[in-house]
Structure 1
Amino acid sequence: NVNDADIVVVSTAIPHDNPELLEARRRNIPIWHRAEMLGWLMEGTHAIAVAGSHGKSTITGMLGAILETAGCDPTVVIGADAIAYQSNVRIGGGSWMVVEADESDGSFVHLMPRYAIVSNVELDHTNHFPTIGELLDAFVDFLRCLPYDGIAAIGVDCPNARMLLDTVGIRTTTFALRADADYRAAGIEIAPSKSSFCLCYKGEALTQIELNIPGAFNVTNALAAATIAHAIGIEPEAIASGLSSFRGIKRRFEILGKMPDRNVLVVDDYAHHPSEVRAALQTARTFHSKRILTVFQPHRYTRTRALHSEFGPAFAVADMVWVTEIYSAWEQPIAGVSGQLIADAIKAVCPDKPVFFKHDFDAIIEDVRNEVNDDDMVLVLGAGDIYRVAYQLVAE
């Protein structure tokens, strides 16, 4: 497949012994990292890079919807499929580009944005960044890629992200729900399948925002998108209209439907960090008062080793939990590290909660089918292939 290639583009997920990569090297074909290719595509555009530990895909999709509504015809590159696009990419004809900036391997320093968002920074990707200090250093390097006339929007509810304000010599603006910030969300109302708030800039109301997707965390995501949109000159009315039209991202609290012949809602979500698990369960609880049965697939041995104890309290809202074996994401196993660590952490915090550690997806599906009652919810969580369980539960 590389016979006629001028350049071969790879991501960090491609192993070094991949046959096409080896053949490209043998033929002396230039090999670019995916982030280098995105950086090249961003040159000469009004590019916005969306970074942060959580919410990147959703914020990127929201910004795409805002710019599309504003008539900018943007190109949008997301790390997951947008429901509106049925793809992770929208090819636009305008000069605007929105790109999700992946911090997991540090490659986001190859991007060439004019504007940026850092929504939050939490310890993660410990295979690449063993400490929070090293991760913050990477975000500093990323922000220093912005030109002198660029703007970075920083989510200052997050203490780690707030620290970036004092370390980068670029123009910044801030957003927050709780902390003092340039942009704030006032009068927040959370309903089962939607939410609303008033977008305020330096104490002045700009517009009312109505979101048609669930979750309090999406208020923060929308505030991030609205902040950079207003900072670059998009009218408040276009911001509100774009956010109202946004339909969501696949595997981000995606309601798949009900189990056949059962009044049991099945929801699929990409959550794989303790903060994301907690947010997904809190969203489920806002509109579901009955039992929430949760299936969780840990992602990466290094993340499980570093954060397993934090997963315990994250599952407090769940009524029953099944934990699978770890999805390796190409990592080598680590002695003593398995999904059992997370199951044990949950039991340590909630000793009366039914928690099961099982390797086999089919066994978990059988368990869930036997355990559910009408009006329960099944919430399937994880960044690996656990979505297969969710889809099988709603299959005819």
Structure 2
Amino acid sequence: MTDQTAPAGADGLTPPGPALPDLLRRVHMVGIGGAGMSGLARILLARGGQVSGSDARESRGVIALRARGAQVQVGHDPAALTLLDGGPTVVVTTHAAIPADNPELVAARERGIEVLYRPQVLAQLMADYRTLLITGTHGKTSTTSMAVVALQQQGADPSFAIGGELNESGTNAHHGSGEVFVAEADESDGSLLEYRPDVVVVTNIEVDHLDFFGSEQAYVDVFDAFAAQIRPGGTLVVCLDDPGAAAFGGRCAGSLAAGVTVLGYGTGAHADLAPSVPLVAELLEAGAQGTGSSNRVRLAAPVGPGVERSLQVTLPGRHMALNALGALTGAAALLGDPGSIDRLIDGIESFGGVHRRFEFRGRSGGVDLYDDYAHHPTEVRAVLSAARTLVADDRGRRVIAVFQPHLYSRTAEFAEGFAAALSLADEVIVADVYGAREEPQPGVTGRLISDQVTVPAVFVDSISELAPAVAERARPGDVVLIIGAGDITMQAPPILDALSSLS
């Protein structure tokens, strides 16, 4: 790490760790309230930077950043560039959420202020650390979060930036005192290519984000390019239960920079696609236990001593057991000490979950309500498979899925896959599409999905109709799961209120 002295933080104390680059001493962030941007702001503030920003609306995240010293304006206007004395040294934005004609971005370019994307800034913040990055089509946030908690239990106090709030700390980012940085590497727009990691965990590779990449091959190619950026002496960890990740590991074995090791985890269901990748973290047994899972694993060198261990995971589903194993493998590879594995396991077993990852939102009218961010057919299938384990011992209990599709392009591409995944539920309610950054497409609505579901299903074209639709169908003992990456999470309180009439 650098010997430079960091500037004093908002509390007047000198923060631990490397000094901020001069460019990042005064930062203005457009869309500062978003999950990724707010985490970046937290780290900049903790490292002594001055931060201003703007967002479309007031939010809990914006209020929290103001309390930490950020100057935040609600609404987008060039005047926001004057919130910091002397103005910003750089303006930060995101690829997807903020359009290029945003008035603050236009003004910044006119004034000659450099504009960077969030991943470019995160790469600079990680530059002087040993880095563990988690990527893949699904499971990034849960796996990254488990790795963070495992390393915290081991005493590493990592810095981290993740896509959801850890239930343990209620935050999505932290500037730690240690020499380790853990983060998600987002593949959705190719921005993971900004990073030069020491250890990479790839949970799975399955085609997605075709609105950006255009073809399945282009999507796969970005992972290959990312692997080539692992630092010499580093480690690539792949899930050998996923055919895409296993084939990727097979391609990478022997072709990466000098000294880069490729390791595998899982049951090895697709190990034949990567015969030269050793299965060092093996899932021997997996079984439901309460609202989580009880597992037996074998951890071989260089991850562990080669003996069996029990591994309890607080979240249900085989996919979460695999995520836990990936987190363990990545954290152990980063530390390079097989003797640390017991403390890392303790951390995984204490993991309390992440906001909107099979998050329990409450019980009302005898019905349990969970909330999940799943927005791809594979993710929907995984969370509903996990939900089925909660009702497996009682044939009278049912699973009701309440799904909001995310993006018109994804809905059109995967309508059949979503319908097949949702058919794992006993009943399904489908809301209309949450378009996010996309304009509506003729004929693309949630009905494309509900019409193909093979269990009783209904389409509601107004999100305000979800709560009464749930209350009409649910009965005491059921599990209701609201699913989607849009604003459906805001329906949890009205659904709980509507369910109270069942009591």
Q: How much has 1:90 moved relative to structure 2?
A: 2.1
Matched residue, 2:59: none
Deviations along 1:119-162, one digit per CA (max 9) or x if unpaired, are 10111111012322111101111111111211110112111112
378-387 or 363-372, larger mean C-alpha shift: 363-372
Give the AA of the match of 1:57. Answer: T
Give the AA of the match of 1:27. Answer: R
Q: How much has 1:207 moved relative to structure 2?
A: 3.1
Deviations along 1:228-262, one digit per CA (max 9) or x if unpaired, are 12223241111111101111111011111112xx1
TM-score normalized by the length of structure 2: 0.75
**Is the contact between residue 153 and residue 224 of structure 1 (CA under 8 Å) also seen in structure 2?**
yes
Matched residue, 2:91: 8
Matched residue, 2:281: 183
Q: How much has 1:62 moved relative to structure 2?
A: 0.6
- SS of the residue corresponding to residue 14 of structure 1 reads coil
- SS of the residue corresponding to residue 162 of structure 2 reads strand
Matched residue, 2:209: 125
Matched residue, 1:249: 354
Aligned: 1:194 with 2:260: no
**Is the contact between residue 151 and residue 157 of structure 2 (CA under 8 Å) also seen in structure 1?**
yes
Q: How much has 1:201 moved relative to structure 2?
A: 3.1
Matched residue, 1:275: 378
Aligned: 1:238 with 2:343: yes
**Is the contact between residue 468 and residue 495 of structure 2 (CA under 8 Å) also seen in structure 1?**
no
**Is the contact between residue 10 and residue 31 of structure 1 (CA under 8 Å) also seen in structure 2?**
yes
TM-score normalized by the length of structure 1: 0.94
Aligned: 1:113 with 2:197: yes
Q: How much has 1:44 moved relative to structure 2?
A: 1.5
Matched residue, 2:387: 284
Deviations along 1:89-127, one digit per CA (max 9) or x if unpaired, are 122111100011111111110122111111101111110
Separation in structure 2 between the aligned mates of residue 320 and residue 152 of structure 1, nearest angstrom: 41
Aligned: 1:327 with 2:411: no
**Is the contact between residue 207 and residue 236 of structure 1 (CA under 8 Å) also seen in structure 2?**
no
* Superposed structure 1 runs of 4+ greater than 3 Å apart: none
Matched residue, 1:356: 458
Residue of structure 1 aligned with 2:221, choices 128, 133, 137: 137
Deviations along 1:151-206, one digit per CA (max 9) or x if unpaired, are 11011211111222243323211112243422211232321312222331349325
Q: Any gaps of 5 or more consecutive residues in structure 2? A: 1-79, 272-278
Matched residue, 1:28: 112
Matched residue, 2:43: none
Separation in structure 2 between the aligned mates of residue 89 and residue 202 of structure 1, nearest angstrom: 31
Matched residue, 1:306: 413
In percent, how many aligned pairs have the same letter? 34
Give the AA of the match of 1:276. Answer: E
Aligned: 1:74 with 2:153: no
Q: Any gaps of 5 or more consecutive residues in structure 1? A: none
Separation in structure 1 between the aligned mates of residue 112 and residue 361 of structure 2, nearest angstrom: 46
Residue of structure 2 aligned with 1:258, choices 359, 363, 384: 363
- Report the structure number with the largest CA radius of gyration: 2
Give the AA of the match of 2:138. Answer: H
- SS of the residue corresponding to residue 414 of structure 2 reads helix
Matched residue, 2:488: 386
- SS of the residue corresponding to residue 480 of structure 2 reads strand
**Is the contact between residue 40 and residue 112 of structure 1 (CA under 8 Å) also seen in structure 2?**
no
Aligned: 1:54 with 2:138: yes
Q: How much has 1:316 moved relative to structure 2?
A: 2.1
1:158-237 maps to which residues of 2 (within 5 A)? Answer: 158-168=242-252, 169-170=255-256, 171-179=261-269, 180=271, 181-202=279-300, 204-205=306-307, 207-232=309-334, 233-234=336-337, 235-237=340-342
1:84-103 maps to which residues of 2 (within 5 A)? Answer: 84-103=168-187
**Is the contact between residue 296 and residue 324 of structure 1 (CA under 8 Å) also seen in structure 2?**
yes
**Is the contact between residue 319 and residue 354 of structure 1 (CA under 8 Å) also seen in structure 2?**
yes
Deviations along 1:43-80, one digit per CA (max 9) or x if unpaired, are 12001110011110011111101111111110111011
Give the AA of the match of 2:316. Answer: P
Matched residue, 2:478: 376
Q: How much has 1:333 moved relative to structure 2?
A: 2.0
- SS of the residue corresponding to residue 249 of structure 2 reads helix
**Is the contact between residue 322 and residue 356 of structure 1 (CA under 8 Å) also seen in structure 2?**
yes
- C-alpha root-mean-square deviation of aligned residues, in Å? 1.6
Q: How much has 1:218 moved relative to structure 2?
A: 0.9
**Is the contact between residue 46 and residue 97 of structure 1 (CA under 8 Å) also seen in structure 2?**
yes
19-28 or 146-155, larger mean C-alpha shift: 19-28
**Is the contact between residue 198 and residue 205 of structure 1 (CA under 8 Å) also seen in structure 2?**
no
355-364 or 61-70, larger mean C-alpha shift: 355-364
Separation in structure 1 between the aligned mates of residue 433 and residue 375 of structure 2, nearest angstrom: 11
Separation in structure 2 between the aligned mates of residue 303 and residue 264 of structure 1, nearest angstrom: 31
Separation in structure 1 between the aligned mates of residue 459 and residue 318 of structure 2, nearest angstrom: 30
Give the AA of the match of 1:200. Answer: R
**Is the contact between residue 426 and residue 456 of structure 2 (CA under 8 Å) also seen in structure 1?**
yes
Give the AA of the match of 1:164. Answer: F
